[in-house]
Chain A
């Protein structure tokens, strides 16, 4: 079966959803059915891996652009993850999306996104990659701006698409460089191609593109804003799948990067992003933005692992992060739902009725905090284990420490908050949360817990050497969790005076650690420079226009002067004739 068949059911689902605008109530069933069909196809494909299919898109002058898809193990890994997540997200969405008039558009976009993500997963040429890459970009744009009438959503969408656009064009340039250098766009050709300056430039450009998609510093600003989108979208695109496209791409091209000794790029960007993400998460109050910053941190860690040369560590984190982050996002969606749409963690509460949910969420929290033996532990410990120097190791532990604090902060503040009487009355509460929203969370909790199995099987499946996590690692990570947990408990538990809390949370962190405004300021500066340049060019253009106008005016004026000579005086005419004759004769004889 050719790999591209995997996306056919979803694509069909997407367009059927769109066409069913009149019968919006059935749309969700169509979408879910199509995603399950896709999952079935994918699972079937997983049984027979290693299929490669190539279609010629165009060929010209010895160069051929092929549309190649493949189900090599690495491709299958992402394909299965996406195929697995899609039905969960759609089921969750069926409880989440209540306005039926928006449903066709919503399911269309989600299915289209899932299809593009699968296409990305199976892409084996830069052409396929580019198609999928940009489809990811535009579906993500439209999903972030899903509630387009909200100013914040609209602006967040623009921020995202602008960053994505920069990445796309970097990608396009890279594609052109590679196509020019090797007359082919197939990964199989490029991966075995001899190094060249063009390839080097292309790799740098591709890494820029990967950074935009994976929100790496300094192109990270859009991700937190992207939380303006619907929560399932955040859970799907902006934590578990799309943002990891950049990481995945670099993983696919890893041999080239290694050969070109460009890994340092990822190390620097990754660690910077991890620090920024962790610190921002610590001072943020928006329930989803905290998770978004946390995602940035995770992505940063993956790049650190790549930078350290450990593909396996990056892949492990890549897989386990999918589940716990999606889980946390989904439960944050439920929390917001139960709290009447409020997003500030200081005004959200848990109550006793959501025990099951709370338990599932705790699995996610602990997994993120990297508690053994949950999945998160293996991901993060593997990254730690791949670090080769002490400062690097220390840095990773610090980041981990901060992440323990912020995730407990995220968990504790609502947990320990006593809701006002009015809130409980007005809010929907946890009792009415539909099963369709709850069940994916529970399922994901199981996945998050079981994802630790990847540590055992994944490297073997992909043909890598497994990462050894030593006992020392175990001790270090666990100690970090214990210390962080203790500190968080001290800072954010119920009885600490509000003053102290406010001081720590808002004082230092908000002023120093919350880097978003600075990065934004940097971009605003860029925009201002751009606009100043535009103003200068525009002024020049005006000058040019008036110069043309002035020249025209001058010639008209000359004509007016000439007209004055023609005043109807016959003697003037005769004089002109005589002068003319003399001139003619004079010209000739002189």
Chain B
């Protein structure tokens, strides 16, 4: 079992972390940033490839009783690893202490993969904690003035962790091993206990996932984080939380699916509206995007609220879609912030300063607003049709109206970008340009031809539901 091929991604990563820590100790002496970068990138690429081949093989194996390798986890392993790669590249291009970053980054990645490949509630708990703590420290690395954001994240994360631990504890009587397996439907008091546990787990994961009202910290932390960390927070941490949420909800509470609509319809609707309303009144683009990513979390929740295979498939698709949109958009926004271009007003004339960045930003925002034929539209189409299929027409309608509202603030930025003329040109740094290019590829090409990704998401969701 220990030599099972399915352990590959996690082994690669764990092995390379070990090597990286070793090398970084040596590299400190030789200033070997490049070596470290090459090593870590190679490791991540290896994880992507390994996950991909595992996905193709369609294997479903449990490894060490904590990890499970099956299409759902493979797919997200691919996503997370490739996003991590983009963050790694940007961090390499940034001015902070790369060695320190990398060791924390490795730690965080381990946590993330623990969540993605988890076969045990404990693995998820530990993974999320590792991710959260490492992330909080990564925020501080670049500059001291990021401390406030880090503390906020850490503090709020601790509260969430406590709740999560309590919620798992409630399940102990029914599953002492705390494995990620379905708890049968129970009558009487047990039912109440389990549903309480369900709600608390949902609430605590809502913290990382950015669901209202557990998301108030998000704009502060996103705004106060260094350039490469915002994409990571919005594009990876949040998605990992969603992975955890989907796997726990649909595996552990697989027999309680009937409870989902009641809870998540309200959460989803409130989150969408909250994010959109507050984004309307922001001048700072980064903050606005933070709120917009909250509303996007609300859309992802639609699929969970629907609680059908089609709904999960749609959510998975939207997680992919939003991950790339938000990484692309935040990369550009953070790059501009480093040149002291922050508010909507500052964005005026961006088109004349760097038309490629402007066009990309426009496309990301259009995609987030759900304009076809970009990926965000495909995601929304899937989500809202899934809601409609499940008979949740009001939710679908609410989602449509919300995407209409969101148009207002996206266009405020786009309109500003294309307004004046500015003489001074801006050059994209290579690391940002690479991330943007990858994200743009996903947003446009997958947007125009979403069929492959939909199939992947479909297979992943089916493999997930097969576990119940």
Contacts and interface: CB of A to CB of B under 8 A. Distances in A.
Contact of B199 (A555, A563, A568, A588): A588
Given A570-B156, A581-B200, 14 more contacts: A559-B278, A562-B274, A562-B278, A563-B281, A563-B282, A573-B152, A573-B216, A577-B160, A577-B207, A580-B212, A584-B267, A585-B196, A585-B199, A588-B262
Which of B151, B203, B207, B212 has the most chain A CB atoms inside 10 A of its CB? B203
Sort chain B's interface into a size bin.
20 to 34
Contacts of B196: 585
A566 B278 contact: yes
A5 B454 CA distance: 69
Interface string A554-590: 0110111011001010101110110111011101110
Given A559-B280, A560-B281, A584 B159 contact: no
A567 B259 CA distance: 34
A574 B282 CA distance: 23
A587 B203 CA distance: 13
B21 interface: no
Contact of A576 (B152, B214, B219): B214
Nearest to B224: A568
Top 3 A-B residue pairs of the complex, sorted by shortest distance between their CB atoms: A580-B213, A559-B277, A573-B216
Interface in B179-218: 192, 195-196, 199-200, 202-203, 206-207, 212-214, 216-217
Given A568-B220, A584-B199, A574 B156 contact: yes
Interface residues of A, number: 24
Contact of B203 (A558, A562, A572, A580): A580
A500 B151 CA distance: 110
B155 interface: yes
Contacts of A555: 277, 280
B203 A584 contact: yes
A584 B263 contact: yes
A587 B265 CA distance: 13
B266 interface: yes
A186 B213 CA distance: 75
Contacts, number: 73
A227 B212 CA distance: 78
Interface string B262-298: 1100110000001001101110000000000000000
B163 interface: yes
A566 B151 CA distance: 17
A574 B203 CA distance: 12
A588 B207 CA distance: 20
A580 B214 contact: yes
Contacts of A570: 151-152, 155-156, 217
Nearest to B158: A574
Interface of B: 151-152, 155-156, 159-160, 163, 192, 195-196, 199-200, 202-203, 206-207, 212-214, 216-217, 219-220, 259, 262-263, 266-267, 274, 277-278, 280-282
A206 to B, nearest CB: 51
B281 A556 contact: yes
B216 A572 contact: yes
B403 to A, nearest CB: 16
A577 B199 contact: no
6 contacts: A555-B277, A558-B277, A559-B280, A563-B281, A566-B219, A588-B259
A579 B152 contact: no
Interface string A349-379: 0000000000000000000000000000000
Contacts of B280: 555-556, 559
Given A574-B159, A577-B156, A577-B159, A566 B199 contact: no
Contacts of B155: 570, 574
B213 A577 contact: yes
Contacts of A563: 278, 281-282
Contacts of B216: 566, 572-573, 576-577
B262 A559 contact: no
B231 to A, nearest CB: 22
A271 B422 CA distance: 76
Contacts of A580: 203, 206, 212-214
A581 B196 CA distance: 10
Contacts of A568: 220
Contacts of B262: 587-588
Contacts of A566: 216, 219-220, 278
Contacts of B266: 587
A577 B216 CA distance: 9
A566 to B, nearest CB: 6
A569 B285 CA distance: 21
Contacts of B160: 577
B215 to A, nearest CB: 9
Contacts of A556: 280-281
Contact of A573 (B156, B192, B202, B263): B156
Nearest to B266: A587
